[in-house]
Structure 1
Amino acid sequence: MLDRASDPPGLPSNLAQQASPSYRLAALDQDFLLGDSMRGVRFLLEFTKADEALRAFGVRSTIVVFGSARARADGPGRQPYWHEQARLFGQIASQRGGALRKAGGLRDNVIATGGGPGLMEAANQGAYEVGAPSIGFNITLPREQQPNPYSTPALTFRFHYFAMRKMHLAMRAAALVVFPGGFGTLDELFELLTLRQTGKAPPIPIVLVDEAYWRSVICLDALVANGMVEAADLQLLAFADGAEATWRKLVAAGLKVAPP
């Protein structure tokens, strides 16, 4: 910072110029960076920061696991069962899918979740228990979401923009596994289904866990009966009722698994 205090008497001070917001370096000016005109730059920053970290860690592909943040291991009804199956699936997928191996410096089928509590935490926990890395794509919410303690610290991200978070969830996904959940889970499910239906995403397998739950929540046959989707579109997803069955469905649907 310039200092004109020692200049000869009579010269005007430049302290006002130095204190002006316009004089700040653009990269260090938060008022500027957080303004409306820089929204596109912030999108780029959110994309690039996570992308560089994932590349550095060697994550080539992921298995995205979504489900309710509210379902607890000691919760009511079937919540304990869903929680346990999500944890077991995290173990199975990590052990058999390639997350533990770095073939050519790359890892495949790394568990990736929304990073929060509930069933997403359970999937991260399963990966953690077998010594595998896993990803947490957290989002800033009005009631601040905290990252769960099981996602790999170097792969635990926080996004402001849902759109950029969704992009990262989709772009490396080799499969999607959806446990019971609410609005957020439905949002992610239909995001990936739409990408698959429109050919904007590769033909990844999508498995919904607990068929009875999903049949009670979504009447897929009504969509066909009313001409909203083609009958063939229902082949984009499958159902399973547990962790082991889910893994078998993914492999049968074409999930690529490197030989041990």
Structure 2
Amino acid sequence: MSSALNLNEERKIIEKFQHKTWNEIKTNDTWAIFKIMAEFVNGYEKMSKIGPCVSIFGSARTKPDQKYYKLAENIAYELTQNGFGVITGGGPGIMEAGNKGAHRGEGASVGLNIDLPFEQHDNPYIDHDKNVMFDYFFVRKVMFVKYAQGFVVMPGGFGTLDELFEAVTLIQTKKIGKFPIILVGSEFWNGIFDWVKEVLIGQFGNASAEDMDLIQIVDTEKEVVDILNNFYKKYSLSPNF
């Protein structure tokens, strides 16, 4: 398996330096546009029907006996009890915990799955008509952001950081509304955002201090739900029950 993956990686590198004929460009690159379009259309059609939801991000490697798995499950459950559905990446770990909690709370439970050579597989807690498959990460990330009324970010790896900073960037640049971004687990997140404040902002000036107002770090499910409910009370809005 590993040797096959290594050969595949080598092929991807070598192909970038190979000159393509016009026929190859038309076959491989141009026609890929239609596959991308199909993923967007399928995603829009399914996601537009789900109602108010919160996207939950986090590691696929978190095990059911670990505290953040249980915490993610409880957060998702409490979100459903307050009228929100839950969107996850549809796989194992934190994603499974989020869908499990939403399923337990009898709320909307959406999985945005992606075809990967490792780690990713469907979890059993997604509503059968709300499991959406993707080949392209960028299409999947559009769905995470476009149909969410808030973001809950559990401890995770590079994919979780990518999703977090995508949401922050889109809010910072006013491409989407200023929805709550809630990071769960101060022991995990404090170090990263101390660096953001001290180095990225303080030392280099590569962001503004007020950008930190977009992010809140908490440790309990109650804090997550309170932040979301208080945010929408300001606008006299509430999710549908």
TM-score scaled by length of structure 1: 0.76
Which residue of 2 is the match for residue 64 of structure 1?
Answer: 55
Q: How many residues align?
A: 212
Which residue of 2 is the match for residue 207 of structure 1?
Answer: 182
Q: Is it true that 1:231 corresponds to 2:209 in the alignment?
A: yes
Q: Is the 8 A contact 1:205 1:254 kept in 2?
A: no
Q: Is the 8 A contact 1:206 1:250 kept in 2?
A: no
Cα–Cα, structure 1 residues 34 and 122, in superposed 2: closer, same or farther, change >3 Å? farther
Shift of 1:254: 3.1
Which residue of 2 is the match for residue 257 of structure 1?
Answer: 238
- Counterpart selection for 1:159 from 129, 134, 156: 134
Tell me the secondary structure at the aligned position of residue 133 of structure 2. strand
Cα–Cα, structure 1 residues 169 and 258, in superposed 2: closer, same or farther, change >3 Å? closer
| Aligned partner letter, 1:157 | V
Shift of 1:230: 0.7
Shift of 1:132: 1.8
User: In the TM superposition, what are the counterparts of 1:42-57 in structure 2 within 5 Å?
Assistant: 42-55=35-48
Q: Is the 8 A contact 1:207 1:246 kept in 2?
A: yes
- In structure 2, how many angstroms separate the alpha carbons of the residues matched to 1:230 and 1:254? 25
Shift of 1:84: 1.0
- Counterpart selection for 1:188 from 163, 170, 181: 163
Q: Is the 8 A contact 1:174 1:204 kept in 2?
A: yes
- In structure 2, how many angstroms separate the alpha carbons of the residues matched to 1:221 and 1:257? 33
- In structure 1, how many angstroms separate the alpha carbons of the residues matched to 2:37 and 2:26? 12
Tell me the secondary structure at the aligned position of residue 254 of structure 1. helix
Structure 1 runs not aligned, ≥5 long: 1-30, 75-79, 98-108
Which residue of 1 is the match for residue 92 of structure 2?
Answer: 117
Cα–Cα, structure 1 residues 36 and 228, in superposed 2: closer, same or farther, change >3 Å? same
Tell me the secondary structure at the aligned position of residue 48 of structure 1. helix
Cα–Cα, structure 1 residues 160 and 205, in superposed 2: closer, same or farther, change >3 Å? same
User: In the TM superposition, what are the counterparts of 1:117-136 in structure 2 within 5 Å?
Assistant: 117-136=92-111
Deviations 1:222-247 (A, max 9, x none): 22202011110000110110111111
Shift of 1:144: 6.5
Cα–Cα, structure 1 residues 32 and 152, in superposed 2: closer, same or farther, change >3 Å? farther
Shift of 1:258: 3.8
- In structure 1, how many angstroms separate the alpha carbons of the residues matched to 2:27 and 2:120? 21
Which residue of 1 is the match for residue 226 of structure 2?
Answer: 248
Cα–Cα, structure 1 residues 186 and 259, in superposed 2: closer, same or farther, change >3 Å? closer
Which residue of 2 is the match for residue 37 of structure 1?
Answer: 30
Cα–Cα, structure 1 residues 130 and 60, in superposed 2: closer, same or farther, change >3 Å? closer
Q: Is the 8 A contact 1:93 1:111 kept in 2?
A: yes
Q: Is the 8 A contact 2:47 2:147 kept in 1?
A: no
| Aligned partner letter, 2:214 | L
| Aligned partner letter, 2:88 | T
Q: Is the 8 A contact 2:61 2:92 kept in 1?
A: yes
Shift of 1:49: 1.1
